[in-house]
Amino acid sequence: MTYIVNDKCIACKYTDCVEVCPVDCFYEGENMLVIHPDECIDCGVCEPECPADAIRPDTEPEAAEWVEFNRKYSELWPVIIEKKDQLPDAEKHDGEEGKLEKYFSEAPGG
């Protein structure tokens, strides 16, 4: 099992999860984070830290597509190991539907 970040993170990018990860398996895009599925040790400490409920175990329905999404972008984006401020409109976008189609950026964070 591994954990994934889904589209609930897009346009919010809370980074509370990064601080608790013991293996530094989070990677930063311009407007979201992903988890490298081969680096995740399945400890689960990140899941309750996410205010947007964007971190889920890969055993949940629809998670399989997100495992590959997370793998792809974790190989393109830089690792993130320190908490940063969330995006300016995070609270406005928290819980919004259709964020992948509306806001996702393939650009790396930094």
| pLDDT per residue as tens digits for the range 67-93 | 999 999 999 999 999 999 999 999 999
Given a cut of 90, whether residue 50 has pLDDT beyond it is yes
Mean residue pLDDT of the chain comes to 97
Terminal-to-terminal C-alpha distance of the chain = 28
Residue that is written with structure tokens 């790396």 in the block:
108
Given a cut of 90, whether residue 45 has pLDDT beyond it is yes
Taking the C-alpha atoms of residue 57 and residue 74, their distance in angstroms, rounded to an integer, is 17
* Residue 5 φ/ψ, nearest 5 degrees: -110, 130
pTM, 2 dp: 0.96
| Residue 33 DSSP one-character state | E
At residue 67, the 3 state secondary structure works out as helix
Of the candidates 47, 1, 41, 3, the residue with the CA atom closest to the CA atom of residue 22: 41
